Amino acid sequence: MGAAVLFAGLVISALPTQQTKAGEGTSLKPELRATVQLRGTEPVLEVLIKNETAQSFWVNKRFAWNSESAPEWARELTIEIKDSSGQLAPYSCKMNIGLAGRTNYILLYPGEFVGRTISLKCAFLKRGAHYSIVARFRDSNTPQGLPPNIPVLHDELVSNTLELDY
């Protein structure tokens, strides 16, 4: 089969509500965006979170990809990759990762974004196959040392479905 066909997608986000330390509800509307492409023969996923709100919030910029079975503190990103028959592509990497610390967080001001490019080599992908990809971001870590009056993004953000012919 030929090199690659890719689809880059704009992602739709959840509309989370965060609690500040004072217990006030703050509506956050960040946007998770993702694209998938081939770099040479390697498929990569580019993910970013954009602050589309009028307020700042803390976000975990680590974007650690790990399997669904890994402890929640050891992953911010899960990537569901299914072939055309709906079969999940196996995740084949072992991550040596600790708790997210203060240095993993960035204050995202209105209009700003943070992101990462992630190789999909941890997924067992077969050449000549078609895949549907959905990225999910959720940070369950409780960082120490962040100012208590600025919310931390913890709710799940879900991308749109991306298509990859590999």
pLDDT value of residue 119:
94
Expressed as residue numbers, the domain containing 20 is 5-165
Give the mean pLDDT of the chain: 83
Q: Look up the CATH number of the domain holding residue 69.
A: 2.60.40.2360
Gap between the Cα atoms of 149 and 130, Å rounded: 46
- pLDDT confidence tier of residue 3, bands split at 50, 70 and 90: very low
Question: Number of structural domains, the chain?
Answer: 1
2-13 average pLDDT score: 31
**pLDDT tens digits, one per residue of 85-97:** 999 999 988 888 8
Query: Is the model's pTM score more than 0.75?
Result: yes
Angle value at C-alpha 113, between 112 and 115, nearest 5 degrees: 165
Q: Is the dihedral of CA 3, 87, 80, 158 positive or negative?
A: positive
Gap between the Cα atoms of 48 and 56, Å rounded: 16
